[in-house]
Structure 1
Amino acid sequence: MSLRAKWTLGGIVAGGAAAALLGAGSSALALYFARRVLTPARVRVADQEVLAVIRQSSGLQVILAATPETTQDGTYSLFFDGGKGHARIGRIISYSPAERTVLRYVDAVYQGNLETARRGWWGGAVYPDPSAVGLASEEIAIEVEGGAAPAWLIPGEPDAETWAVLVHGRGATRQESLRAARPVHELGLPALLISYRNDGLAPSAPDGRYGLGSTEWRDVEAAIAYALAHGAREVVLFGWSMGGAICLQTADLSGYRNVIRAMVLDAPVIDWVNVLAHHAELNRIPSAVGRYGQLMMGHRLGRRLTGLAAPVDLKSMDWVSRAVELRTPTLIIHSVDDEYVPYRPSALLAEKNPEMVTFEAFEKARHTKEWNADPDRWESLVKAWLQRQLAPRVNPGQGTVLSGD
């Protein structure tokens, strides 16, 4: 064999080895990406720094390190001491870009001692329970696969035939839904603020993985069944982020879909392929690797690697492509500045199906924090839209009122 031939062969072998290593590395990264999406996180990162707490005659103020979250005006939550502490943080008093600090009012401390806190995490769930909103409630259990899922039942008007079922997002709890509790109550609707598989309150799914809406909708169906068994004739679904995807799946697949009168979706996942591509880009994962991760989620052989009991059909949850199939009146509220779930699919769904979908854009609000940035606008929009949807429907020809069935 000539020296040239040896070099050529060596180059081929080396190139093949490099390609194999690159392929193995890409596969590992794709699998890591898929697992991160599908696996519930049990520990929250305390990524917000508490610099000082000032006690004034008018109450507490807090100095926080300036971050994209803490410098947004509005009302938010700060969880500290590993989640044992919870404070409601109010509007900005002052902001120093040079010192990278922000001074804010503390509206309430529900649990823990904020004055000893050093770090915490920011959130949109500003209330710990219905009593903090000023509403009475009952703790109930809804029978789901694997056991009972805790829920808050906030009563409405006596003999109300329309109930609300409120569905929180990925990594959140039913506390997130409390932001809608007051307008729902003012409309007279009994409200079920539910938990669902893998959220830390409801029983975990057998595989311990998120279905991104493809499995969780069954727990919403169980909540609808509970409402129907206790006097409801129809329901309104509320969903935040992945909770929006869950509501869309419920309206599509549930045997009770005909009793869903309307849906209110806040920053919903309308198209998982779009969201996952966005997160691959945010995490500097090559687009091809991100698509490979999506393939793992949706392929029957990939479930051995991801831990899924069954593949997740992402295409079936693309509601931009399926826009005309959505036949439930839907209000979508979505910030154009959402850093986590891009708003464009929400706008496109409304453009493609204006008969069923109303889109309301917010600005300067981060993911699922439209209410936090402007609660008055959020609540007035929801109430006005739902009042129109829940008004008695009249048959123009006969003048008869139609039921919600």
Structure 2
Amino acid sequence: MVRGSRRAARAKAGLLEAVGAAAALSAGIVIGGTALSFAIARKVVTPATKRLADVEILDIDRRAQTITLARTPDTVLPGRYGLFVHGARDYLKIGSVLSEAEGSVTRKLLTHVGPGQHLAAAATFSGWYFVHPDELHIPYENVVVDAPVGPCPAWLFPAPDGGDASTWMIGVHGRGTTRSEVLRAAPVFRDAGVTSLIVSYRNDGEAGRSSSGRYGLGATEWRDIEAAIRFARSRGAERIVLMGWSMGGAIALQTVLNTAYAHLIDSVILESPVVDWRTVLDFQARALRVPFPVTHIVRRQLTLPRWSRAVRSGNAISLNDLDIVSRAQELAHPILLMHSDDDGFVPSEASHLLAEARPDLVRLVSYSEARHTKLWNYDEARWRRHILAWLRDRGLGADVS
């Protein structure tokens, strides 16, 4: 009896120890998963303070003016691009692919690099190409949009003589970038006889800062675009085309759904847009091998008011409001939507679903290998052709050739 009682006690103690260990492990997993989810949620809404190096410079031939880069899905793309670098220069323009090897690609340098100009190996591949409006060699002026968060600097490219001064394009850049991203669009709209206003918005490093200093993923930034519409109207705009890249697409879509000036908006042009943030978050989580339960917690932390303080996002963000596929029937403005199926950052799935949901409004132009926000770079002629055809079909602009 005593011996049996001792065995039972030891068994019970062992069971309790196992349960305790399992509970501790589970608690550790929960705590670890929650901590990871908070870190991810904060990163989603926190503006970047420095560029992420995503490519290595392997060699520069200063005599031939070529540059050899580590091979990535971006660095092998045809077309012309930019490269943020460190050293004697901070930005290079690069041209066509000259040769490829198993782990590298050699491209033409379009920015001269002299014999004494040293550059660090770490660099950031970019679709911007143009950094400053002076590079476009077309007239512009620096203006300021008075937005709810304060002054938002903008570049205004007036319509050329004989153009349609009452039609404006308002260009909205994406997450982690600046209005320089939009400069590629100014020449095509000028050629169409249209005024372009390329704007900044809250927390992008140029415009005013919100109280939280965090992105709203489109849920708050649209108010600054509404202010830009108000500015355009004060300068004679009667018809407005909103154009957004990546998160700028989400902002443009929130603008048409929420603004008091919807009657002034003729249509929307989107490149590589965020149409549904859940799709983007899930895609990025899979790419980073984040477990689905953690991704689920991230969503809740972004959307529940009681967690918004911990995430430091300011107000909770409604992912339902930002899901334009589910809100497709609320749309009333025609949309030209251009997206590459190999985007690699913002998957094109939601763009296809939106086009299927509203074929009466959405004209979808699919690319197969242009990556994220690099459609102009990949095939400028095709990109221009689609935009000019859109404006012509909408009866916008004027022949200034």
Distance 1:83 1:206 in 2: 37
Q: Give the Å deviation of 1:314.
A: 0.4
Aligned twin of 1:215 = 220
1:129 corresponds to which residue?
132
Q: Deviations over 1:39-72 (max 9, x none)?
A: 111011233222332244xx72212222222111
Q: Name the SS for the 2:105 alignment partner.
A: strand
**What is the DSSP-based 3-state SS (H/G/I as helix, E as strand, rest coil) of the residue aligned with 1:358?**
strand
SS at match of 1:213: coil
Letter in 1 for 2:125: W
Residue number in structure 2 paired with 1:85: 90
State how far apart, in whole Å, the 1-side matches of 2:347 and 2:159 are.
Answer: 34
Matched, 1:143 2:150: no
One-letter code aligned to 1:10 = E
Q: CA deviation at 1:181?
A: 1.1
Choose the corresponding residue for 2:383, options 361, 374, 378. Answer: 378
Equivalent position amino acid for 2:303 in 1: G
Quote the offset at 1:118 in angstroms.
2.4
Counterpart position of 1:395 = none
Q: Are residues 168 and 129 of structure 1, via their aligned partners in 2, closer, same or farther at CA, if it must alter by over 3 Å? A: same
Aligned residues between the structures? 387
1:133 aligned partner, one-letter code? L
Instruction: Report the CA distance between 1:253 and its aligned residue.
Output: 0.5
* Aligned mates of 2:350, 2:310 — CA distance in 1: 30
Question: Quick one: which of 29, 32, 37 aligns to 1:22?
Answer: 29
Q: Indicate if the aligned counterparts of 1:51 and 1:118 stay in contact, CA closer than 8 A.
A: no
Task: Give the direction of change, closer, same or farther, for the CA distance of 1:79–1:13 in structure 2 (3 Å limit).
Answer: same
Is 1:54–2:61 an aligned residue pair? yes
- Residue among 3, 9, 20 paired with 1:2: 9
Structure number with the bigger relative contact order (C-alpha 8 A, sep ≥ 6) is 2
Instruction: Give the Cα–Cα distance (whole angstroms) in 1 for the partners of residues 157 and 92 of structure 2.
Output: 23
Which range is displaced more, 174-183 or 63-72? 63-72
- Note if contact 2:303-2:318 (Cα within 8 Å) is conserved in structure 1: yes
**2: CA distance, partners of 1:11 / 1:51:** 54
Please list the CA deviations of residues 104-159 of structure 1 after superposition, one character each: whole Å capped at 9, or x if unmatched.
111235x9999411232110000122221221110111112332111110010456
Residue aligned with 2:53, SS: coil
Distance 2:27 2:219 in 1: 34
Partner of residue 359, structure 2: 354
Give the aligned partner of residue 335 of structure 2. 330
Partner of 1:169: 174
Shift in CA distance, 65/325, structure 1 to aligned 2, threshold 3 Å: same
Q: Give the match's secondary structure for 2:106.
A: strand
Indicate the larger mover: 366-375 or 126-135. Answer: 126-135
Indicate whether 1:72 and 2:77 are aligned: yes
310-319 or 75-84: which moved more? 75-84
Instruction: Tell me the distance in 2 between the aligned counterparts of 1:112 and 1:324.
Output: 56
For 1:353 and 1:107, the matched residues in 2 are separated by 42
SS in 2 for 1:44: coil
The residue correspondences of 1:240-251 to structure 2 (distance < 5 A) are 240-251=245-256
Alignment of 1:141-290 (within 5 A): 141-157=144-160, 160-290=165-295
CA distance in 1, matches of 2:326, 2:148: 31
The residue correspondences of 1:292-371 to structure 2 (distance < 5 A) are: 292-371=297-376
State yes or no: 1:107 paired with 2:114. Answer: no
Aligned residue type for 2:118: T
CA contact (8 A) 1:52 1:115 kept: no
Q: Taking every aligned residue pair, what percent have the same amino acid on both sides?
A: 39
Q: How many Å apart are 1:387 and its aligned residue?
A: 1.2
2:153 and 2:170 mapped to 1: Cα distance?
Answer: 13
Q: For the aligned residues, what is the CA RMSD? A: 1.9
Match of 2:4 in 1: none
Tell me, yes or no, if the aligned pair for 2:87 and 2:118 is still in contact at 8 Å. Answer: no
Residue identity matched to 1:103: T
Q: TM-score, normalised by structure 2?
A: 0.92
Does structure 1 residue 116 correspond to structure 2 residue 140?
no
Structure number with greater Rg is 2
Residues 58, 70 of structure 2: 8 Å contact kept: yes
Contact preservation (8 Å) 2:87, 2:120: no
How much does 1:391 deviate? 4.9
Q: Quick one: distance in 2 between partners of 1:36 and 1:381?
A: 35
Deviation at 1:364, TM superposition (A): 1.1
TM-score scaled by structure 1?
0.91
Residues 69/140 of structure 1: CA separation in 2 closer, same or farther (3 Å cut) = same
The separation in 2 between residues aligned to 1:78 and 1:157, in whole angstroms, is 31
**Do 1:87 and 1:114's aligned partners in 2 also have CA atoms closer than 8 Å?**
no
